Amino acid sequence: MNSEFSAVPITKHVYWVGAIDWNIRDFHGYATSRGTTYNAYLIMDKKITLIDTVKRPFFPEMLARIRSVVDPSKIDIIVSNHAEMDHSGSLPEAIELIRPEQVYASSMGTAALQDHFHWKTKVLPVKDQEKISLGELELQFFETRMLHWPDSMFTWIAKEKLLFSQDAFGMHLASARRFADELPETRLIEEGAKYFANILLPYAPLIPKLIERCRQLGLNAEIIAPDHGPIFRQDLGAVLERYLQWSAQKPTDKIVIVYDTMWESTHMLARQLEEQFQRLGHPVRVLNLHVAHRSDVITELLDAGAICVGSPTLNNQMFPTLADFLTYAAGLKPQHLLGLAFGSYGWSGESIKKVADALTSMGVEVLGSCKCKYRPDEETRTRCRHLATELSNALRAKLEQG
């Protein structure tokens, strides 16, 4: 069938019919420097089924890919695994065009879609572990509440050992390749970690429980088809292991220094801390928020043991980029970090305490602070070095205790 875009076969019955967004660079505050994909899947069985849709502007692309396999009006069922608009934004148009027999979502998904669209469309709520037959294949639904929205669910095809995992195991990575094994592993790990840190981190403690539950329920997947990025069909053990590792947020001796600066004084303190950590043998990342994006800083924290946050005082406040970063980080709730606050000031110097308080309220164990009036002198530099050494000793002691 001639079509502007083509579907990509995944299994005998399942096709990828999603869309590639090469140009997106900001996904609700997350810098998506490699774009993304919105994955939707077509299941060709007696009951033809569409799993998820795509972000609204990409509806024509999804439709064209479906048309390369089947007339969209032949689709009988639509399943919405996740109500967020990058997957449900074109659901109303899809329903209007397709007029499916049935639309399914989790009970929370049904409510969320209603709250989004204020529509008269009837969406049938499915229960956790409920099954529906498509003919040769059977779909089974698993609620995955708070991974990462209350409505989120997985859809499982036992006969094909295929798990539609919605956002879980996804990544923001636009590519002409549909399968993870066609892409460099380093890129998959880098973008997978960034996605985990910026989307799933607040719910990390739920992930080992979910993976264990999937094992107990016999979901021995051979294909994981997420809603963003490539599809995994090889070495799924490594994919799960990476999720368990990121969920644990086990601290290492890596230290992240994040700051901004007005007249280079806070920058000089940052460099002094960096120098001392280097001398003490720590891997260090230095990120100036003037050029580093908040989502890259969070990614660096995934395997860090400590964070040092520096801000000048501007009009009695912390610098705006620090307020931005600390607000973002507080929502993502990174765990198990030690910390320091530092910064420069001219006459009042509130920013350092504000930074320390913000770190403490997000669960960072703040060991001290270092500030300088106008310009760091030798006494301030010495104080910085001592503080860095104290932090290093505390971190090493913590790592030794396991």
Footprint of ligand FEO (CB under 6 A): 82, 84, 86-87, 148-149, 167, 227-228
Instruction: Compute the C-alpha angle 106/109/115, nearest 5°.
Output: 150
Instruction: Compute the C-alpha angle 241/245/22, nearest 5°.
Output: 80
Based on the residue annotation, tell me whether 260 is a catalytic residue of this protein: no
Based on the residue annotation, tell me whether 324 is a catalytic residue of this protein: no
Based on the residue annotation, tell me whether 303 is a catalytic residue of this protein: no
For the chain, what percentages of helix, strand and coil (3-state, to nearest 5) are there? 40, 25, 40
Based on the residue annotation, tell me whether 148 is a catalytic residue of this protein: yes
Q: How far is the CB of 193 from ligand FEO (least distance, A)?
A: 17
For ligand FEO, the closer CB: 169 or 319: 169
| Residue of this chain nearest to ligand FEO (CB atom) | 84
Q: How far is the CB of 163 from ligand FEO (least distance, A)?
A: 16
Based on the residue annotation, tell me whether 86 is a catalytic residue of this protein: yes
How far apart, in whole angstroms, are the C-alpha atoms of residue 305 and residue 287? 16
For ligand FEO, the closer CB: 26 or 377: 26
Tokens 């006459």 -> residue? 347
How far apart, in whole angstroms, are the C-alpha atoms of residue 227 and residue 41? 9
Catalytic residue among 228, 243, 282, 300: 228
- The count of other CB atoms within 10 Å of the CB of residue 46 is 10
Catalytic residue among 167, 227, 253, 300: 167
The answer to whether 63 and 97 have CB atoms below 8 angstroms apart is: yes
Based on the residue annotation, tell me whether 28 is a catalytic residue of this protein: yes
Its sign, for the CA torsion 6, 12, 18, 23, is: negative
Alpha carbon of 220 to those of 158, 160, 215, 241, 321: distances in Å?
A: 8, 10, 7, 14, 45
Based on the residue annotation, tell me whether 243 is a catalytic residue of this protein: no
For ligand FEO, the closer CB: 148 or 385: 148
Q: How far is the CB of 306 from ligand FEO (least distance, A)?
A: 30
For ligand FEO, the closer CB: 83 or 240: 83
For ligand FEO, the closer CB: 67 or 228: 228
Catalytic residue among 45, 61, 84, 303: 84
Would you please indicate which residues are annotated as catalytic (active-site) residues? 28, 82, 84, 86, 148, 167, 195, 228
